[in-house]
Chain A
C-alpha cells in the first residue's frame, strides 16, 4: 500500500497525546488521536481499513486499553497494536494476555516506539 502509514494514538493524558501527535506527524505518519477507548473504537468503526497501527494506553475511562485491544484483535485483526502502561505489572501482563503485539512501560522513549511501529508495519524492510 502506498502513502503514509496511519496511526491511532489513544491516551487520556492530553500532553502525551499531543507529544505523540507532533512526533509521529513530523516523521511523516498520518496520525489521529483519541482520549478514551470508546472514542477510539468509533474512529476505527468509521474507517475500518484505514489504520495500520494502534498505540494505546491501558488504564483509561469507559473502554480500557485492554478492552480496546481485545476488540481490535477480533474485529480489525490486521491492525498492529502497541500497548503502553504506567501502572506497574498488572495491566502490562494482561496486555500480553490479550495479545498486544508489543508492550511498553512508561516513561517511554518515543524513538523506541517509532522503531517498533515501523518494524510491525513493514516487517520485511530493514530500514523504514
Chain B
C-alpha cells in the first residue's frame, strides 16, 4: 500500500497539487530534499496516481552499489558477460518496462554510468552487458537525490545534459524543521500505524506539552527520525527517554524537558551505561535506530566527515569570537583563515554575535 503524503503545510499541499497535475504526463521527475524527508513517498504517490499504477514500481539505489554492480543491475547481462554470470539476468530497465523506475540517490551515480543513463533517456534503448542487441524500453523515470545537483554540475561530478533531462518536473521537499505544522499530523498518522502493527505495545500519545517540544525540535533526520522516535516510544513507553536520546542539536529544548521531568521526580533515567561512547558519538551524525540495510546506506564517511568537522569548526569559531569580544578581524588572524572565510563560515554555521 502506498504511504500517503501526510501534512497540512503550504509546501506539502503544493506538492500534492503538483502530483495531481503531472502524474499522468509520465515526464521525467527529479525529487530533491534532505535524507528522511520522504522522497520515496512522493515517488510512490506519483506512481499510484498515474496510469502506470497497475504496472511495476522498480527501485534502485544508485549510492548503495559499486559501479559495475549498479551497471549490471540497471541493464542486466547475458550469460558469460563476466566471471560469475552463469545465466542471463534482466536489468531494472527491463523489469520496469511500462512501469516506473525509481532511481534513488541519483546524485551519487558515477560519471561513466551517467552517460549511459543519458543514452537510455534520449533513445529509450539499452543493451545488457555482454550483448550487442539494443532493447527498447518504456519506463517512467523518477529520480531522487539529497545532493544539490546544480552544485554537483559546477564541480563537474554530475552531467549537465543528464540534469536537464531529469529536471523536467522538479519536486523539492523542504526539511521537517521548515514545516513544523506537519509534525502533529505525522505523529498521529504513525502513532495509529504502529499501534495497528503492534497492538500489544501501548505507547502514549504525546500531551500538549510534549507535542510542543516535539514540534520545536529541529529533526535533522526529518520524517524518518520522527517515525523512529514514535516507534521507539511504543516500546519504551516513555517520551522522556525519547527526548534523552535525541541528538542535542537544540540542547536547550532537551535539557528543559529533562529538568522539568526530574523536578517532578518522574524520571531518573541516565544515559550512562545505556549507550557506549562509540555509539553515542556515531549517533550524533547517523540515525542508528534504522534497520541495518538502511543504516549501511546512510553511512558515508565523506558525509560524516563534513558533519563532524562542521560541528567542531562551529564550536571553535564561536569560542574564539567570544574570547576576542566578537572582533572578527582578530578572530580570523587567530584562526589563521582569511576574514572573508570567517564571515562565510559564520554565515554557514549561523554563528551570530549575542544581541544586546
Contact = CB atoms under 8 A, between A and B. Distances in A.
Do chains A and B stick together as partners?
yes
Interface of A: 38, 41-42, 59, 61-64, 66-67, 70-71, 74, 87-88, 90-91, 94
Contacts of A71: 25, 27
Given A71-B25, A90-B160, A90-B161, A66 B18 contact: no
Contact of B168 (A61, A64, A90): A64
B61 interface: no
Contacts of A94: 164-165
B250 interface: no
B170 interface: yes
Contacts of B14: 38, 62
A66 B169 CA distance: 9
5 pairs of A and B residues whose beta carbons are closest in the complex: A67-B168, A90-B164, A67-B169, A67-B27, A66-B168
Nearest to B26: A70
Given A67-B25, A70-B27, A71-B25, A62 B168 contact: no
A128 B160 CA distance: 40
B290 to A, nearest CB: 30
A88 B168 CA distance: 16
B350 to A, nearest CB: 25
A115 B164 CA distance: 29
B161 A64 contact: no
A65 to B, nearest CB: 9
B18 A63 contact: yes
B86 interface: no
B159 to A, nearest CB: 10
A103 to B, nearest CB: 14
B155 to A, nearest CB: 17
